[in-house]
Amino acid sequence: MNTTGISGKLRLSVPVGCWGLVVWLLAAGLALAEAPARAADTNKTVITSARLSFDQQQRTAIFRDQVVVIDPQVKITADKLTILFSPDNTVTNITARGNVVIQQEDKKAMGEQAQYEVGEGKFVLTGQPVIQSGRDMLSADIITFWRESNRILCEPNARLVIRSEQNVFKGGFMKE
């Protein structure tokens, strides 16, 4: 087994294409405007963690403890991040586990696990998943999003809470 363990703060740069996929989750199925381009940071993602184990034979990279992913469009924190590679070294699957938080602007997704299947363009959030956008909140036992079609499935126990900015029901059925 060819495994390399590294201790201390670690930084890894990954092309944006691997992580820009994550922004779907933050929109709760709504279209997002393109993130503004930032000069030198538009084509890289930086992953930091306390430890990294890389196994070339198993084609896995496992980041552990204080994992932070900084991407031009999104920030992800988790206890553990596992990346699986194909034999030609392309990313096939990304899994974040433990206290997962995905943030973009005023949107935040939280859960115990987030898994992205690159080939299917499918992201699955589990472990009491919640997506917040401003004051609105979406939750279910499992939240699945297909990136290419901007389709979202929340099941079972789906719940959407939309908080009105106005007092529509104050003092009667309609605000006067």
Domain CATH for 87: 2.60.450.10
Quick check: is 64 in a domain? yes
pLDDT band at residue 28 under the 50/70/90 scheme: very low
What is this structure's pTM? 0.69
* Residue 100 is assigned to a structural domain of this protein: yes
User: Is residue 13 a part of any domain in this protein?
Assistant: yes
Task: Kindly report, residue by residue over 124-162, the tens digit of the pLDDT.
Answer: 999 999 999 888 999 999 999 887 887 889 999 999 998
Q: How many domains does the chain have?
A: 1
Q: Quick check: is 168 in a domain?
A: no
Q: Does some domain include residue 176?
A: no
Residue 90 placed within a domain:
yes
Positive/negative CA dihedral, 152, 131, 104, 45: negative
26: nearest Cα among 115, 101, 120: 101
Tens-place pLDDT, residues 99-118: 999 888 888 889 999 998 98
Q: Is residue 87 part of a domain?
A: yes
